[in-house]
Amino acid sequence: METEARLRRWRLILGEEAGDRLSGMGGCGLSEEDAMMDQALAAIYNRAETGGFGSGGAGKGPSNPQISRWLGDVRSLFDKDLVKVIQGDAMERCGLKQLLFEPELLENLEPDISLASTIMLLKEQIPKRSKESVRTFIRKIVEELNRMLEQDIRRAITAAVNRRQHSPIPSASALDYKLTISRNLKNYDPALGTIVPEKFYFFDRTSTTAANKWTVILDVDQSGSMGESVIYASVISCILASMASLRTRVVAFDTNIIDLTDKCDDPVDLLYGFQLGGGTDINRSVAYCEQFIENPRKTLFFLITDLEEGGNRAALLRRLGELHQSGVRVTVLLAISGSGKPYCDEQMAQKVASMGIPCFACAPEKLPELLEKSLRG
């Protein structure tokens, strides 16, 4: 049985052409589910036989309903991580990028941020009939990211901007979950299976008055390499814009500058405001943002970029250093991506970090914790 199972797996890996040879080694008949897997994988990886999804004409590739069906099969037959791998391979091997914009196709795609960033890069090419389906696909991803990040981002920023970090005045929306749990771990009740807090800790809410509001500026690189980071930045911007204690401004740049602050009510609208692609003039954008700094010591400045500066590198370093010295809390996010691996100008990143400015890349789930640490100094 073990040998037969191994042969079946090899049959799925090697494809139909290996069937006869493997059968002679002890049989490797496919179950109904195996056969469905085989058909789905063949549609992706046997491109020479199918002609690819982008080819036109009868007999030169599956019709749209067939594509939708095998995408549905992939999602039901393989685990989520493997689905994303297969979808990525499909995009490259089978011309799937051209068909991402078919409404019936998008309904069967597993929401994935790399797919979303590709869509945003190609959004100007989306046919009119598919625009609403694409928007729905993007919104699913944005809502999932918002659920993952909102509570922790709010806590991290609230802790950073409140000088009197805690207040005796209770407020459900100002509850410091992290401190309340850590200080009450000793009160864990095994019978109830939960912590019974003796004391709750609340963030100070005095900073919500207009005079005490902090300014938060997100300066976001929209060059083509920043696709995933732009999606996360859109979600984070809208979370910050919804906080009463903050005045939030969002600026996007390549060689041009776009102020997207008026789109912060909806992360999808904000995301659609970005124009991914083009060169980079970071220094020019930072200079533009300086006009919004009224009180340096009550300003958080997030520069989200790979630091691949096409403008004046020396002027950029000097400008960031001056902001930091003036009291602005500057943070440079090199990338926000699932891998957390920075794609950046390492020499520039080292120079920024040497000035005492937090400069790092991270996976999204680590972002709130790292932000809190960097903002607290």
Dist CA 159 CA 147 (whole Å): 20
H-helix or E-strand spanning residue 253 = strand 246-253
Beta strand 214-221 with 299-304: parallel, antiparallel or unpaired? parallel
Taking Cα atoms as reference points, which of 88, 165, 101 lies closest to residue 136? Answer: 101
Dist CA 114 CA 132 (whole Å): 19
Which two tokens mark 335?
């990338």
| pTM (two decimals) | 0.65
Dist CA 212 CA 295 (whole Å): 10
Residue 324 contacts by C-beta under 8 Å, 6 or more apart in sequence? 330, 355, 356, 357
Taking Cα atoms as reference points, which of 30, 29, 48, 41 lies closest to residue 82? Answer: 41
Dist CA 87 CA 371 (whole Å): 32
pLDDT of residue 361: 87
CA distances in angstroms from 4 to 10, 34, 205, 252, listed in the order given: 10, 13, 66, 56
pLDDT of residue 255: 85
pLDDT digit string (tens) for the chain, length 377 residues: 566 667 666 766 666 666 666 665 555 567 776 777 777 777 667 654 444 443 333 233 333 334 445 555 666 677 777 777 776 676 666 555 666 666 777 777 777 787 787 777 667 667 787 888 888 888 988 998 888 888 888 888 877 776 545 556 676 666 777 778 888 888 888 888 888 888 887 766 555 555 567 899 999 998 766 878 888 889 999 998 888 778 999 999 988 899 999 999 898 999 888 887 667 899 999 999 999 999 998 899 999 999 989 889 999 999 999 999 999 999 999 888 766 566 788 999 999 999 999 998 888 888 888 777 766 65
H-helix or E-strand spanning residue 219 = strand 214-221
- The per-residue DSSP string of 45-114 comes to H-HHHH--TT--STTSS--HHHHHHHHHHHHHHS-HHHHHHHHHHHHHHS-HHHHTT-HHHHTTSPP-HH
Dist CA 94 CA 116 (whole Å): 18
Instruction: Please name each of the domains of the chain with its CATH number.
Output: 2-138 (no CATH), 147-160+208-376 (3.40.50.410), 166-203 (no CATH)
Taking Cα atoms as reference points, which of 264, 238, 249, 247 lies closest to residue 298? Answer: 247
Looking up tokens 């910050």 gives 240
Residues found in the chain = 377
H-helix or E-strand spanning residue 304 = strand 299-304
CA distances in angstroms from 96 to 45, 272, 320, listed in the order given: 12, 22, 42
